[in-house]
Structure 1
Amino acid sequence: MDLVRTTQVTSSYSNSRRGYHYDVFLSFRGEDTRKTFTDHLYTALKSAGYRTFRDDDELETGEGIKSGLKQAIQMSRTSVIVFSKDYASSRWCLNELVEIVDHKRTSSDHVVIPVFYDVDPSHVRKQTGSFAEAFARHRKTEPPDMMERWRKALEEVADLAGKVLQNQAYG
Protein backbone atom coordinates (compact mmCIF):
# COMPACT_ATOMS: atom_id res chain seq x y z
CA MET A 1 0.00 0.00 0.00
CA ASP A 2 1.55 3.31 -1.11
CA LEU A 3 0.32 5.21 1.92
CA VAL A 4 2.00 2.74 4.26
CA ARG A 5 5.28 3.20 2.38
CA THR A 6 4.84 6.99 2.60
CA THR A 7 4.30 6.69 6.34
CA GLN A 8 7.50 4.65 6.69
CA VAL A 9 9.45 7.80 5.91
CA THR A 10 7.87 9.46 8.95
CA SER A 11 8.39 6.60 11.37
CA SER A 12 11.51 7.36 13.31
CA TYR A 13 13.86 4.96 15.04
CA SER A 14 13.97 7.53 17.84
CA ASN A 15 10.22 7.85 18.41
CA SER A 16 10.40 6.68 22.00
CA ARG A 17 13.37 8.94 22.78
CA ARG A 18 11.46 11.96 21.50
CA GLY A 19 8.43 11.16 23.63
CA TYR A 20 6.28 9.70 20.87
CA HIS A 21 3.99 6.92 21.93
CA TYR A 22 2.46 6.44 18.47
CA ASP A 23 3.93 6.44 15.01
CA VAL A 24 0.58 7.38 13.43
CA PHE A 25 -2.57 9.13 14.58
CA LEU A 26 -5.53 8.40 12.28
CA SER A 27 -8.17 11.11 11.89
CA PHE A 28 -11.33 10.17 9.99
CA ARG A 29 -15.12 10.42 10.00
CA GLY A 30 -16.20 7.05 11.30
CA GLU A 31 -19.55 6.89 9.54
CA ASP A 32 -17.82 7.43 6.19
CA THR A 33 -14.74 5.22 6.30
CA ARG A 34 -14.40 3.27 9.57
CA LYS A 35 -15.49 -0.08 8.13
CA THR A 36 -13.86 0.39 4.74
CA PHE A 37 -10.75 2.38 3.88
CA THR A 38 -9.72 3.41 7.39
CA ASP A 39 -10.02 -0.13 8.71
CA HIS A 40 -7.84 -1.41 5.85
CA LEU A 41 -5.28 1.38 6.40
CA TYR A 42 -5.19 0.77 10.17
CA THR A 43 -4.68 -2.97 9.64
CA ALA A 44 -1.90 -2.37 7.09
CA LEU A 45 -0.10 0.08 9.38
CA LYS A 46 -0.33 -2.25 12.38
CA SER A 47 0.83 -5.21 10.28
CA ALA A 48 3.82 -3.17 9.13
CA GLY A 49 4.76 -2.57 12.76
CA TYR A 50 3.53 1.00 13.22
CA ARG A 51 2.05 1.97 16.56
CA THR A 52 -1.19 3.46 15.32
CA PHE A 53 -3.86 5.34 17.26
CA ARG A 54 -7.45 5.10 16.06
CA ASP A 55 -10.28 6.39 18.22
CA ASP A 56 -12.99 3.73 18.22
CA ASP A 57 -15.14 5.20 20.95
CA GLU A 58 -18.63 6.39 20.18
CA LEU A 59 -18.50 10.16 20.32
CA GLU A 60 -21.16 12.23 21.95
CA THR A 61 -22.80 14.97 19.90
CA GLY A 62 -21.55 18.41 20.83
CA GLU A 63 -18.73 17.10 23.00
CA GLY A 64 -15.40 18.88 22.79
CA ILE A 65 -12.21 17.05 21.94
CA LYS A 66 -11.32 14.65 24.75
CA SER A 67 -8.11 15.32 26.64
CA GLY A 68 -6.98 11.76 25.93
CA LEU A 69 -7.42 12.33 22.22
CA LYS A 70 -5.51 15.60 22.40
CA GLN A 71 -2.72 13.79 24.21
CA ALA A 72 -2.69 11.02 21.57
CA ILE A 73 -2.23 13.68 18.86
CA GLN A 74 0.64 15.24 20.77
CA MET A 75 2.23 11.83 21.37
CA SER A 76 2.14 10.90 17.67
CA ARG A 77 4.94 11.38 15.18
CA THR A 78 2.56 11.53 12.20
CA SER A 79 -1.09 12.35 11.64
CA VAL A 80 -2.93 10.84 8.68
CA ILE A 81 -6.18 12.69 7.99
CA VAL A 82 -8.73 10.86 5.84
CA PHE A 83 -10.94 13.51 4.26
CA SER A 84 -14.22 12.03 3.08
CA LYS A 85 -17.41 13.53 1.69
CA ASP A 86 -19.01 14.16 5.09
CA TYR A 87 -15.83 14.90 7.07
CA ALA A 88 -16.73 18.58 7.51
CA SER A 89 -20.21 17.78 8.77
CA SER A 90 -18.62 16.57 12.02
CA ARG A 91 -17.72 19.21 14.60
CA TRP A 92 -15.62 16.53 16.25
CA CYS A 93 -13.54 15.92 13.11
CA LEU A 94 -13.04 19.64 12.55
CA ASN A 95 -11.98 20.21 16.16
CA GLU A 96 -9.60 17.26 15.92
CA LEU A 97 -8.18 18.74 12.70
CA VAL A 98 -7.55 22.08 14.43
CA GLU A 99 -5.73 20.24 17.22
CA ILE A 100 -3.56 18.40 14.67
CA VAL A 101 -2.71 21.62 12.84
CA ASP A 102 -1.91 23.39 16.12
CA HIS A 103 0.41 20.52 17.04
CA LYS A 104 2.07 20.67 13.61
CA ARG A 105 2.71 24.39 14.09
CA THR A 106 4.31 23.92 17.52
CA SER A 107 6.23 20.72 16.78
CA SER A 108 8.68 21.11 13.94
CA ASP A 109 8.90 17.38 13.31
CA HIS A 110 5.18 16.46 13.32
CA VAL A 111 4.23 15.21 9.85
CA VAL A 112 0.69 15.54 8.51
CA ILE A 113 -0.42 13.43 5.54
CA PRO A 114 -3.84 14.16 4.02
CA VAL A 115 -5.78 11.45 2.21
CA PHE A 116 -8.60 12.64 -0.02
CA TYR A 117 -11.00 9.70 -0.09
CA ASP A 118 -13.57 10.21 -2.84
CA VAL A 119 -13.35 13.97 -2.34
CA ASP A 120 -11.56 16.54 -4.46
CA PRO A 121 -8.70 18.30 -2.61
CA SER A 122 -9.95 21.65 -3.94
CA HIS A 123 -13.30 21.07 -2.17
CA VAL A 124 -11.41 20.73 1.09
CA ARG A 125 -9.13 23.71 0.41
CA LYS A 126 -11.91 26.07 -0.73
CA GLN A 127 -14.76 24.51 1.28
CA THR A 128 -16.93 23.88 -1.76
CA GLY A 129 -19.24 20.97 -2.56
CA SER A 130 -20.16 18.90 0.49
CA PHE A 131 -17.75 20.99 2.58
CA ALA A 132 -19.70 24.17 1.72
CA GLU A 133 -22.96 22.44 2.64
CA ALA A 134 -21.54 21.37 6.00
CA PHE A 135 -20.25 24.87 6.74
CA ALA A 136 -23.67 26.35 5.89
CA ARG A 137 -25.20 24.08 8.55
CA HIS A 138 -22.47 24.89 11.09
CA ARG A 139 -22.94 28.63 10.53
CA LYS A 140 -26.32 28.37 12.30
CA THR A 141 -24.84 27.11 15.57
CA GLU A 142 -21.11 27.78 15.67
CA PRO A 143 -19.28 30.98 16.64
CA PRO A 144 -17.52 32.77 13.76
CA ASP A 145 -14.08 32.43 15.35
CA MET A 146 -14.41 28.64 15.48
CA MET A 147 -15.63 28.54 11.88
CA GLU A 148 -12.56 30.55 10.87
CA ARG A 149 -10.21 28.18 12.72
CA TRP A 150 -11.81 25.23 10.91
CA ARG A 151 -11.50 26.97 7.53
CA LYS A 152 -7.83 27.81 8.04
CA ALA A 153 -7.00 24.27 9.20
CA LEU A 154 -8.73 22.77 6.15
CA GLU A 155 -6.89 25.15 3.81
CA GLU A 156 -3.52 24.46 5.42
CA VAL A 157 -3.81 20.67 5.33
CA ALA A 158 -5.32 20.60 1.82
CA ASP A 159 -2.21 22.42 0.60
CA LEU A 160 0.06 19.61 1.82
CA ALA A 161 1.20 16.80 -0.44
CA GLY A 162 -1.14 13.90 0.09
CA LYS A 163 -2.87 10.97 -1.54
CA VAL A 164 -5.97 11.33 -3.71
CA LEU A 165 -8.15 8.21 -3.82
CA GLN A 166 -11.13 8.55 -6.14
CA ASN A 167 -13.76 5.88 -6.77
CA GLN A 168 -12.15 3.34 -4.44
CA ALA A 169 -14.66 0.59 -3.80
CA TYR A 170 -14.41 -1.10 -0.38
CA GLY A 171 -11.25 0.73 0.68
Structure 2
Amino acid sequence: MRVSSSRAREASSSNSSPSRNCYHVFLSFSGEDTRKTFTDNLYTAFVDKGFPTFRDEEELERGEDIKPKFETAIQQSRSSVIVFSKNYAFSRWCLDELVMILERKRISDHVVLPVFYDVDPSDVRKQTGSVEEAFAKHEKNGQPSNKMNQWKKALAEVADLAGMVRANQADG
Protein backbone atom coordinates (compact mmCIF):
# COMPACT_ATOMS: atom_id res chain seq x y z
CA MET A 1 0.00 0.00 0.00
CA ARG A 2 1.58 3.28 -1.10
CA VAL A 3 0.69 6.70 0.26
CA SER A 4 -0.74 8.53 -2.71
CA SER A 5 -0.13 12.19 -3.46
CA SER A 6 -3.87 12.84 -3.35
CA ARG A 7 -4.17 11.26 0.09
CA ALA A 8 -1.28 13.37 1.37
CA ARG A 9 -2.85 16.51 -0.18
CA GLU A 10 -6.20 15.70 1.43
CA ALA A 11 -4.53 15.28 4.79
CA SER A 12 -2.64 18.54 4.47
CA SER A 13 -5.60 20.51 3.04
CA SER A 14 -7.86 19.45 5.90
CA ASN A 15 -5.14 20.50 8.27
CA SER A 16 -4.20 24.14 8.47
CA SER A 17 -2.22 23.75 11.69
CA PRO A 18 1.45 22.98 11.10
CA SER A 19 1.70 21.17 14.44
CA ARG A 20 -0.65 18.37 13.33
CA ASN A 21 1.13 15.35 11.92
CA CYS A 22 0.30 14.12 8.42
CA TYR A 23 3.39 11.95 8.12
CA HIS A 24 5.10 9.60 10.49
CA VAL A 25 8.39 9.94 8.61
CA PHE A 26 10.08 12.58 6.49
CA LEU A 27 12.90 11.05 4.39
CA SER A 28 15.89 13.27 3.66
CA PHE A 29 18.42 11.86 1.19
CA SER A 30 20.55 12.53 -1.86
CA GLY A 31 18.61 10.99 -4.71
CA GLU A 32 21.72 10.61 -6.80
CA ASP A 33 23.19 8.12 -4.32
CA THR A 34 20.30 6.23 -2.80
CA ARG A 35 16.93 6.92 -4.45
CA LYS A 36 16.73 3.66 -6.43
CA THR A 37 18.43 1.48 -3.82
CA PHE A 38 18.52 1.95 -0.06
CA THR A 39 16.04 4.84 0.23
CA ASP A 40 13.52 3.16 -2.06
CA ASN A 41 13.68 0.01 0.09
CA LEU A 42 13.41 2.07 3.28
CA TYR A 43 10.42 4.01 1.95
CA THR A 44 8.65 0.82 0.88
CA ALA A 45 9.26 -0.77 4.29
CA PHE A 46 7.78 2.24 6.12
CA VAL A 47 4.71 2.41 3.88
CA ASP A 48 4.18 -1.37 4.01
CA LYS A 49 4.14 -1.14 7.82
CA GLY A 50 1.51 1.62 7.65
CA PHE A 51 3.71 4.64 8.34
CA PRO A 52 2.74 7.58 6.07
CA THR A 53 6.09 8.73 4.71
CA PHE A 54 7.07 11.87 2.82
CA ARG A 55 9.46 11.33 -0.06
CA ASP A 56 9.88 14.01 -2.69
CA GLU A 57 9.27 11.73 -5.65
CA GLU A 58 5.86 10.64 -4.31
CA GLU A 59 4.59 13.93 -2.97
CA LEU A 60 5.62 16.69 -5.38
CA GLU A 61 3.79 17.72 -8.51
CA ARG A 62 5.85 18.83 -11.50
CA GLY A 63 6.24 22.61 -11.53
CA GLU A 64 5.51 22.97 -7.79
CA ASP A 65 7.66 25.28 -5.66
CA ILE A 66 9.41 22.68 -3.53
CA LYS A 67 10.75 24.69 -0.58
CA PRO A 68 7.35 25.50 1.00
CA LYS A 69 6.21 21.91 0.40
CA PHE A 70 9.30 20.52 2.15
CA GLU A 71 9.01 22.97 5.05
CA THR A 72 5.37 22.00 5.54
CA ALA A 73 6.15 18.28 5.28
CA ILE A 74 8.89 18.60 7.91
CA GLN A 75 6.53 20.54 10.19
CA GLN A 76 3.83 17.91 9.71
CA SER A 77 6.09 14.90 10.36
CA ARG A 78 6.62 13.10 13.63
CA SER A 79 10.15 12.10 12.71
CA SER A 80 12.86 12.43 10.10
CA VAL A 81 15.23 9.81 8.78
CA ILE A 82 18.29 11.42 7.23
CA VAL A 83 20.21 9.13 4.91
CA PHE A 84 23.76 10.47 4.73
CA SER A 85 25.65 9.26 1.68
CA LYS A 86 28.81 10.31 -0.13
CA ASN A 87 26.99 13.02 -2.13
CA TYR A 88 24.59 14.27 0.56
CA ALA A 89 26.71 17.31 1.49
CA PHE A 90 27.18 18.26 -2.17
CA SER A 91 23.48 19.15 -2.29
CA ARG A 92 22.71 22.63 -0.98
CA TRP A 93 19.08 21.56 -0.86
CA CYS A 94 19.85 18.54 1.37
CA LEU A 95 21.86 20.74 3.71
CA ASP A 96 19.09 23.35 3.92
CA GLU A 97 16.62 20.54 4.59
CA LEU A 98 18.87 19.26 7.39
CA VAL A 99 18.85 22.70 9.01
CA MET A 100 15.03 22.80 8.84
CA ILE A 101 14.79 19.32 10.38
CA LEU A 102 17.05 20.24 13.29
CA GLU A 103 15.12 23.48 13.88
CA ARG A 104 11.94 21.38 14.11
CA LYS A 105 13.66 19.01 16.54
CA ARG A 106 14.68 21.92 18.80
CA ILE A 107 11.14 23.26 19.18
CA SER A 108 9.17 20.01 19.37
CA ASP A 109 9.38 16.31 20.10
CA HIS A 110 10.41 15.61 16.48
CA VAL A 111 12.60 12.49 16.39
CA VAL A 112 15.66 12.48 14.12
CA LEU A 113 17.38 9.26 13.07
CA PRO A 114 20.57 9.60 11.04
CA VAL A 115 21.54 6.71 8.78
CA PHE A 116 25.13 6.74 7.56
CA TYR A 117 24.98 4.92 4.25
CA ASP A 118 28.44 4.07 2.97
CA VAL A 119 29.85 7.11 4.79
CA ASP A 120 31.65 7.27 8.12
CA PRO A 121 29.78 9.21 10.85
CA SER A 122 33.06 10.88 11.84
CA ASP A 123 33.34 12.30 8.28
CA VAL A 124 29.95 13.95 8.83
CA ARG A 125 30.82 15.14 12.34
CA LYS A 126 34.28 16.49 11.48
CA GLN A 127 33.50 17.42 7.85
CA THR A 128 36.27 15.26 6.41
CA GLY A 129 36.31 12.95 3.38
CA SER A 130 33.49 13.53 0.88
CA VAL A 131 31.91 16.14 3.19
CA GLU A 132 35.13 18.17 3.14
CA GLU A 133 35.18 17.91 -0.67
CA ALA A 134 31.59 19.12 -0.81
CA PHE A 135 32.34 22.18 1.31
CA ALA A 136 35.37 23.02 -0.83
CA LYS A 137 33.05 22.97 -3.85
CA HIS A 138 30.43 25.13 -2.09
CA GLU A 139 33.15 27.63 -1.16
CA LYS A 140 34.49 27.67 -4.73
CA ASN A 141 30.94 28.31 -5.98
CA GLY A 142 30.68 31.38 -3.72
CA GLN A 143 28.36 30.01 -1.06
CA PRO A 144 28.17 32.59 1.80
CA SER A 145 30.28 31.66 4.81
CA ASN A 146 27.39 32.17 7.24
CA LYS A 147 25.33 29.60 5.30
CA MET A 148 28.26 27.14 5.24
CA ASN A 149 28.78 27.61 8.99
CA GLN A 150 25.10 26.86 9.55
CA TRP A 151 25.42 23.65 7.51
CA LYS A 152 28.62 22.58 9.30
CA LYS A 153 27.02 23.12 12.70
CA ALA A 154 23.98 21.08 11.64
CA LEU A 155 26.14 18.21 10.35
CA ALA A 156 28.14 18.10 13.59
CA GLU A 157 24.93 18.17 15.65
CA VAL A 158 23.19 15.37 13.76
CA ALA A 159 26.31 13.20 13.68
CA ASP A 160 26.26 13.23 17.49
CA LEU A 161 22.82 11.61 17.54
CA ALA A 162 22.49 7.86 17.89
CA GLY A 163 22.04 6.50 14.40
CA MET A 164 22.65 3.56 12.10
CA VAL A 165 25.68 2.79 9.96
CA ARG A 166 25.05 0.82 6.77
CA ALA A 167 27.49 -0.28 4.08
CA ASN A 168 26.54 0.03 0.43
CA GLN A 169 25.60 -3.49 -0.66
CA ALA A 170 24.80 -4.75 -4.12
CA ASP A 171 21.19 -5.53 -3.15
CA GLY A 172 20.55 -2.05 -1.68
Q: TM-score when scaled to structure 2?
A: 0.83
Q: Structure 2: which amino acid aligns with 1:79? A: S
Partner Cα separation in structure 2 for residue 33 and residue 77 of structure 1: 22
Q: 1:65 to 1:102 in 2, by over 3 A?
A: farther
Partner Cα separation in structure 1 for residue 136 and residue 119 of structure 2: 18
* 1:50 has 2:51 as partner: yes
The Cα offsets for residues 139-158 of structure 1, whole Å up to 9 and x where unpaired, read as 12110110000001100110
Structure 1 ranges of 4+ moved more than 2 A: 57-60, 167-170
SS in 1 for 2:39: helix
Check the 8 A contact 1:114/1:157 in 2, yes or no: yes
Give the superposition deviation at 1:170: 2.9
Partner Cα separation in structure 2 for residue 59 and residue 139 of structure 1: 30
For structure 2, the 5+ residue unaligned runs are 1-18
Give the superposition deviation at 1:52: 0.3
* 1:116 has 2:102 as partner: no
RMSD across aligned C-alpha pairs, in angstroms?
A: 1.8
Q: Structure 2: which amino acid aligns with 1:119? A: V
Q: Structure 1: which amino acid aligns with 2:135? A: F
Partner Cα separation in structure 2 for residue 42 and residue 158 of structure 1: 22
Check the 8 A contact 1:65/1:96 in 2, yes or no: no
Partner Cα separation in structure 1 for residue 164 and residue 137 of structure 2: 28
Give the superposition deviation at 1:106: 1.2
Q: TM-score when scaled to structure 1?
A: 0.83
Partner Cα separation in structure 2 for residue 103 and residue 58 of structure 1: 24
Matches within 5 A, 1:24-39: 24-39=25-40
Partner Cα separation in structure 1 for residue 115 and residue 131 of structure 2: 15
Give the superposition deviation at 1:133: 0.3
Instruction: State the aligned residue count.
Output: 150
Matches within 5 A, 1:20-169: 20-56=21-57, 66-107=67-108, 109-140=109-140, 141-169=142-170
For structure 1, the 5+ residue unaligned runs are 1-17
Partner Cα separation in structure 1 for residue 61 and residue 28 of structure 2: 14
The Cα offsets for residues 111-167 of structure 1, whole Å up to 9 and x where unpaired, read as 000000000000000110000000001012110110000001100110000000024
The Cα offsets for residues 50-78 of structure 1, whole Å up to 9 and x where unpaired, read as 00000115999xxx961111000010000
